[in-house]
Structure 1
Amino acid sequence: MSLDLKGKTALITGASRGIGRAVALKLASLGADIAIHYRKNLEEAEALEVELGRSFGVRCTKFAADLSDLGEIHRFLGEVKTAHPRIDIYVANAAATAFKPLEAIREHHIAKTMNITVTAFILAMNAFKPLMRSGSKVITVSGVDTKKYCTNHGLLAAAKSALETLTRYYSVEWAADGIFVHGVNPGLVDTDSLKVYFGSSYEEAKAGLASLVPMKKLMPTEDVAELVAFLCSPAADWMNGETLYADGGVGFMMPVYSGK
């Protein structure tokens, strides 16, 4: 598949590290100018900006915003609209939550998680629609916790499930305008968040998680970026509204008791 994104602008939320960073690098390698959103790590965002310019010669703009805060969301959207008269690709990747049992969840946990994943997405979609044109692409990023039980992931799974539903609804409501909305659910991915979550036990946890995958390894962020690039292509147009599940077979597996 040959995909040329020269002359197009891609906005990626949560782009300073992990999946978002890999997506930014991939789309830039295909010629797209990149608008990166990050929450607070300016050093990582600047490093990505330098790499995008040095490696691919594309234009890069960066926007800092805490998407858990409604005021910050509106400021962010205004800054993007001022800087970019057109958005051709919007990748909704940002996410954060409180990893707790559901009975320990409090109102502020709900507000934070839902604002970042759901509220910010809806407000961004509606703000950016005038900047999009026929052929524009929206890609949402969810996760394996929407279909497999993951300890302490209940709140995030609910938010990501809502995101998958919104993917379907927007795909129908915007189809007549030629705007395509797709999703990707990549399963168990080796991300920076995984390292933060498990801390000193990361290597042990990584091996344990990899054992759940038939291929016995976690998905690299670069492979997720390849899926996003595919969804940005006309070849994926007839997958409008679909979330592409690419979990290496994890969804098919279940714990097996050997009987010994």
Structure 2
Amino acid sequence: MGTALITGAAKRIGRKVALNLAAQGYDVVISYNKSEAEAQKLALEIAKKFSVKCEIFQCDLCDWKQAKNLAQFVRKKFPDWNLLINNASIFNKSKFLTGTDSDLLDNLNLHFLSPLILAKEFAKNPAKNSHIINMLDKNITRFDTSYFHYLLSKKFLAELTKMLAVEIAPEVRVNAVAPGFVLNSIDEKNPSNETRNLIKKIPLQKKGEIKNIWQAIEFLLKDKFVNGQILFIDGGASLNHAG
């Protein structure tokens, strides 16, 4: 299979993806920033369940300079590195006029510059069947200024996905997944009014699950003629700018 680097993989979507890739036979590198305990726990779980190698690497990708160190570590340790999943993310409200310099720089570095640098290092000497998958947000079709810096940086990453799909093909394919409402930890039997209202705005009238995100990634891995595409896994919410 090769080796997969998943950034921000200690928890949530990244954790699920790392486990599933290990189950498929990928060696896995998990990058994390502050979630050391969760990363170590995940690495131990992978080691116990699967006959693959697993490494963890601490870096803060809000500092884009650390992205190159991460890429060099992976390439040196795993010459067959052939899958990069740019998953690391922050999600904070910030407005254009009232947001801080840190709001701008942290989002641009984490969601755009670090993925760009990782992609560049990845594509310099690509292994066979190399593939980059960027994790976006279904709201890239909207202009929600409540999360101005977050959404702007995700829009940049969406455009980077398309440009790289042309620039570094045929050696490397580049695609993306744009999740919708999947991460909220709710009581399914007693959802809050806010949750009910969000679900009402989704055409399929339900929230997604992390497994739906993995199924999209699995499709992209299997169909090697897909390149430069963004899969919206959102129940149709992006079509009516709802959710």
TM-score by length of 2: 0.89
Please give the secondary structure, in 1, of the residue aligned with 2:94.
coil
For residues 186-205 of structure 1, give each alpha carbon's deviation from its aligned partner in whole angstroms, at most 9, with x where no partner exists: 2222257xx8xxxxxx9554
Q: Which residue of 2 aligns with 1:226?
A: 215
Q: Which residue of 1 aligns with 2:235?
A: 248
Amino acid paired to 1:252: L
Q: Which residue of 1 aligns with 2:182?
A: 189
Q: How do 1:14-25 residues align onto structure 2 when only pairs under 5 Å count?
A: 14-25=8-19
- Tell me how far 1:254 sits from its aligned partner: 5.8
Confirm or deny: 8 A CA contact 2:6 2:85 kept in the other structure: yes
Cα RMSD after superposing both structures: 2.1
Q: Distance in 2 between matches of 1:159 and 1:68?
A: 12
Q: Which residue of 2 aligns with 1:69?
A: 63
Q: Which residue of 2 aligns with 1:169?
A: 163
Q: Which residue of 1 aligns with 2:7?
A: 13
Confirm or deny: 8 A CA contact 2:74 2:81 kept in the other structure: no
Confirm or deny: 8 A CA contact 1:191 1:221 kept in the other structure: no
Q: Distance in 2 between matches of 1:143 and 1:10?
A: 22
Q: Which residue of 2 aligns with 1:199?
A: none
Going by fraction, where is helix more abundant, 1 or 2? 1
In the alignment, which of 186, 197, 215 is matched to residue 204 of structure 2?
A: 215
- Tell me how far 1:150 sits from its aligned partner: 4.2
Q: Distance in 1 between matches of 2:122 and 2:82?
A: 10
For residues 100-128 of structure 1, give each alpha carbon's deviation from its aligned partner in whole angstroms, at most 9, with x where no partner exists: 22221222211110001111011111112
- Tell me how far 1:208 sits from its aligned partner: 3.3
Q: Which residue of 2 aligns with 1:258?
A: none
Which structure 2 segments of 5+ residues have no match? none
Please give the secondary structure, in 1, of the residue aligned with 2:5.
strand
Q: Distance in 2 between matches of 1:65 and 1:21?
A: 17
Amino acid paired to 1:225: W
- Tell me how far 1:213 sits from its aligned partner: 2.0
Please give the secondary structure, in 2, of the residue aligned with 1:103.
coil
Q: Which residue of 2 aligns with 1:158?
A: 152
- Tell me how far 1:174 sits from its aligned partner: 1.2
Report the identity percentage: 26
Q: In the alignment, is residue 55 of structure 1 matched against residue 42 of structure 2?
A: no
Which structure 1 segments of 5+ residues have no match? 196-201, 256-260
TM-score by length of 1: 0.84
Amino acid paired to 1:126: K
Please give the secondary structure, in 2, of the residue aligned with 1:96.
coil
- Tell me how far 1:43 sits from its aligned partner: 0.8
Q: Which residue of 1 aligns with 2:96?
A: 102
Q: Distance in 2 between matches of 1:67 and 1:118?
A: 10
